Copies of this chain bind each other. A is one copy, B any other.
Amino acid sequence: MSAPSLLLEVGNTQIETVETLLQVGRYLVIFLAARALAELMVRLGLPTILGELVAGVLIGVTGLHLILPPAVHAELNQGMLALIGNCAGVSPEAVATIYDESFPSLEATAKLGLYALLFLTGLESELDELMAVGRQATTVALTGVVLPFALGTAGLVLLFHVPLFPAVFAGASMTATSIGITASVFGELGFLRTREGQTVIGAAVLDDIFGIVILAVVVALAADGVLSAGPILQLVLAAAVFVGVALFLSRKAAPAFDWVLDRLRAPGEVVVAGFVVLGLCCFVAEAIGLEAALGAFAAGLILSASKHTAAIQQSVKPLVALFATVFFVLIGSSLDLSVMNPLNPDNRDGLVVALFLLVVAIAGKVAAGWSYLSKEKTNRLVVGLGMMPRGEVGLIFLGLGSQAGILSAPLEAAILLMVIGTTFLAPLLLRLALSGVAAPVDGTAEQAA
């Protein structure tokens, strides 16, 4: 059953055929499932990202075993293996071997999607608008990072005796706020341009910066497996310098980028030039011991001041639509939700941990609403609820932590439930909280700024 002996019986062209069928087939399954569930979520008034996650769960290790990262060591769907084996004239066992061997290229595509998504998030950060609500947004963001992180980590260690390192990671995964989901719900309800809306968006951007810095530190520390003050300080410093340089460059380097871009004449120049900056930032971040993901976000920040920002966003969006979907579906597919089955008594402890994380995740962010510094009448509950959805950022944490092999299966599932729960509840609770309030007219936009 070893790989080489199996594949020696198969011709080169047959291997090519199986590879192509598997790669095309996996994309098809991913896109069809993700799209079907995303459409369902849109119709339920829920974020589409929930659909992509659930799609992954349905076709992954918890469900149909169609999309199965080799690391999870489960049996692939026999029907799929037989179908593709028949087309190419090879045995199902050989198909399974080629499946595992060709899976890394799907994971590489998912990573490309992650970088493209963070690049887009950085590009969409309106630094100027952020400065306008700066003081309030900063206190809200800080409280919303510190409370869930401290309560989550401490609770996991003290109440549930989780080892320090996974506990820190789980705590870190609760710091994030999903700009995309918050912005879309506020926009839909007509509250995006209110002072509350602007503050939440500003705080979400800051959360992303804090969160990605924390992530970079946590993942780098995972390499050593110990928590000691020296390396932490060094990494925090490196991350702070890196983000500081990126913010500085977003003021200073964008004109140079525009100057170069204006002189390029071969077609496709906008997307390629954008990707070169993206690649450079990812490379530097990874080379100095941080995460390439931080580099992708920084690249977006740097180019957010370019006069070609809109064109770059336009050309990155199709990549995000395709490859970030692959990223989210792969996360869902690798999670074994059967460890959360409440009918199995062994799972009760894990379920309690999941419930604890969810409560801390909600309470920590809602409390952040009350840290809002303002003498004007403010709907603090709306601010807090707006900070609640973890969405894609929480998932990025989960994906990287699970890649780094830090988390136990029940803790992974608990984090996923926390992310799903907050992302699912935020739009519902926000609609409830705002149901008594009349949607503001357009004029409040100027008033807010």
Across the interface, do B21 and A286 meet the contact criterion of CB distance under 8 Å? Answer: yes
By a CB distance below 8 angstroms, the chain B residues around A28 are 276, 279-280, 283
A13 within 8 A of B: yes
Q: Contact residues of A with B, CB < 8 Å?
A: 11-14, 16-17, 20-21, 23-25, 27-28, 31-32, 34-35, 38-39, 41-43, 48, 51, 87, 102, 104-105, 107-109, 111-112, 222-223, 264-269, 271-273, 275-276, 279-280, 282-283, 286-287, 292, 315-322, 325, 403-405
Give the residue among A34, A107, A279 with the most B Cβ atoms within 10 A: A279
> Of all chain B residues, which has the CB nearest A403?
B16
A242 to B163, CA, bound (A): 59
By a CB distance below 8 angstroms, the chain B residues around A287 are 21, 87
A403 to B34, CA, bound (A): 33
Number of copies: 2
- Nearest-CB distance from A29 to chain B (Å)? 9
A39 to B268, CA, bound (A): 11
By a CB distance below 8 angstroms, the chain B residues around A23 are 108, 111
Across the interface, do B318 and A265 meet the contact criterion of CB distance under 8 Å? Answer: no
A320 to B268, CA, bound (A): 8
Query: With A31-B275, A39-B266, A317-B268 known to touch, is A286 a contact of B20 (CB < 8 Å)?
Result: yes
Across the interface, do B51 and A318 meet the contact criterion of CB distance under 8 Å? Answer: no
By a CB distance below 8 angstroms, the chain B residues around A317 are 268, 315
Across the interface, do A31 and B272 meet the contact criterion of CB distance under 8 Å? Answer: yes
> Of all chain B residues, which has the CB nearest A115?
B24
By a CB distance below 8 angstroms, the chain B residues around A13 are 222-223, 404
Can you give 8 A-B contacts (C-beta < 8 A)? Answer: A12-B404, A20-B282, A20-B286, A24-B286, A102-B108, A315-B318, A318-B318, A318-B319
By a CB distance below 8 angstroms, the chain B residues around A320 are 268
By a CB distance below 8 angstroms, the chain B residues around A267 are 48, 321
A223 to B13, CA, bound (A): 6
Give the residue among A17, A24, A27, A280 with the most B Cβ atoms within 10 A: A24
Cβ contact of A265, chosen from B43, B280, B319, cutoff 8 A: B43
A21 to B12, CA, bound (A): 30
- Nearest-CB distance from A4 to chain B (Å)? 13
A279 to B27, CA, bound (A): 7
Q: A43-B265, A104-B104, A268-B317 are in contact. List 10 more A-B contacts (CB 8 A).
A: A12-B405, A16-B404, A20-B282, A23-B108, A24-B283, A27-B279, A35-B264, A39-B264, A102-B104, A102-B108
By a CB distance below 8 angstroms, the chain B residues around A325 are 268, 272
By a CB distance below 8 angstroms, the chain B residues around A42 are 265-266
- Nearest-CB distance from A44 to chain B (Å)? 11
> Of all chain B residues, which has the CB nearest A18?
B286
Across the interface, do A322 and B275 meet the contact criterion of CB distance under 8 Å? Answer: yes
- Nearest-CB distance from A387 to chain B (Å)? 23
A50 to B336, CA, bound (A): 49
> Of all chain B residues, which has the CB nearest A184?
B267
A14 to B220, CA, bound (A): 10
A112 to B42, CA, bound (A): 29
